[in-house]
Amino acid sequence: MKDEFDALGIKVAAASVDPVDKAKEVADEVNFPVGYGVTRDIADKLGSWWMPGREAIQPTELIIGPQGTIVASSYSDGPLARTQAEDVISLVKIYDKRAQQK
């Protein structure tokens, strides 16, 4: 859905606890930047669920508006309820329509 994202000015970035080499493997398969080395401290600052023992962050999905503020968020404590690309497109269109009506 990259073309639709581009048309709406949507940019995607991701990050994980993985070291740089593993994150690069993922980055090589997608068309957006992938960060690495997320720590529990970073997860805590985001309000994310942290999995002790696995030392992993659970999905934390943030939609950041043009002014740099969080306009929507989704936090998971497991593999369910991940945000889908179609949902992001719909939400951005709603926000754009609202902004045009002001």
Topology (CATH) of 2-101: Glutaredoxin (3.40.30)
Dmax of the chain from CA atoms? 49
What is the three-class DSSP state of 90?
helix
Q: List the beta bridge partners of residue 14.
A: 34
Q: How far apart are CA 73 and CA 52, in angstroms?
A: 23
Task: State residue 78's pLDDT score.
Answer: 73
Averaged pLDDT, 45-65: 90
pLDDT per position as a tens digit, 4-33:
999 999 999 999 999 999 999 999 999 899
| This model's pTM is above 0.85 | no
User: In the predicted model, is pLDDT for residue 36 greater than 90?
Assistant: yes
Q: List the beta bridge partners of residue 17.
A: none
Q: How far apart are CA 51 and CA 58, in angstroms?
A: 7
User: In the predicted model, is pLDDT for residue 102 greater than 90?
Assistant: no
Task: State residue 82's pLDDT score.
Answer: 84
Structure tokens at 15: 């990050």
Structure tokens at 40: 């529990």
- Ordered by start, the domain boundaries in the chain are 2-101
